Amino acid sequence: MRLHVCAVGRLRPGPERDLANDYYDRFTRTGRPLGLGPLAEHEVEDKKGGGMAAEADLLARAVPAGALLVTLDERGKLLSSPEFAALLARWRDAGRQDAAFVIGGADGIAQDLRTRAEFSVSFGAMVWPHMLVRVMLAEQLYRATTILAGGPYHRA
C-alpha cells in the first residue's frame, strides 16, 4: 500500500525537515518488506490567500484518485501506536492501494474535506503546529512498521 502525506505548507530545511526525512527513510526501509510504501510527500500552498477552503481544494487535488483519505485532526480518533499499526495492516490486507494522510494549515482542515475522509486520527486534544504534526506522523508511520515487523523500536 502506497502512503501519501498531503500537507499545507513547505517544510523548509531545518530540524523538522531533517526529522521528517529521517523517519520517512526508516519507514521505507522497514515498510517495503511488509507491503507498506513507498511514501510520497505532497506539499501544497495557497499563494492567493483563499483560506481553509482554498487549502482544502489544493489538498483534495493532491490526494491520489481512489486513495483512502485520512485526516489528522484534533477531533479524530485517539489511537495507541499498536492500534495505528493494526489499522494500517487492515487497510493493506483489505487491498487498499493508496492511503493519503492529510494535514491542514494553521487553521486546520475545512469541514467539507473532513467530511469526505474515511478516517480521522488525533494526536491528542492539544492543537499542534502543522509542521510538527508532519514529523509526528512520520515517526508513527515508522513505529507502525517496526511493530508489524516485530522489531524492538516500540517498547509497550
Q: What are the extents of the domains in the chain?
A: 3-149
Dihedral sign (CA 135, 136, 142, 145): negative
In tens digits, the chain (156 residues) has pLDDT values of 999 999 999 999 999 999 999 999 999 999 999 999 999 999 999 888 889 999 999 999 999 999 999 999 999 999 999 999 999 999 999 999 999 999 999 889 999 999 999 999 999 988 888 889 999 999 999 999 999 999 888 776
pLDDT at position 26: 97
Give the integer Cα–Cα distance in Å for 1 and 56.
24
pLDDT at 47: 84
At 153 the pLDDT is 85
The CATH number of 3-149 is 3.40.1280.10
pLDDT at 156: 66
Its pTM stands at: 0.95
> Crossing angle for the helix pair 81-93 and 130-149, nearest 10 degrees?
70
| Dihedral sign for Cα atoms in the order 90, 96, 45, 17 | positive
Q: Is 98 helix (H, G, I), strand (E, B) or coil?
A: strand
Q: Which amino acid is at 71?
A: T
Q: Name the helix (H) or strand (E) containing 58.
A: helix 51-62
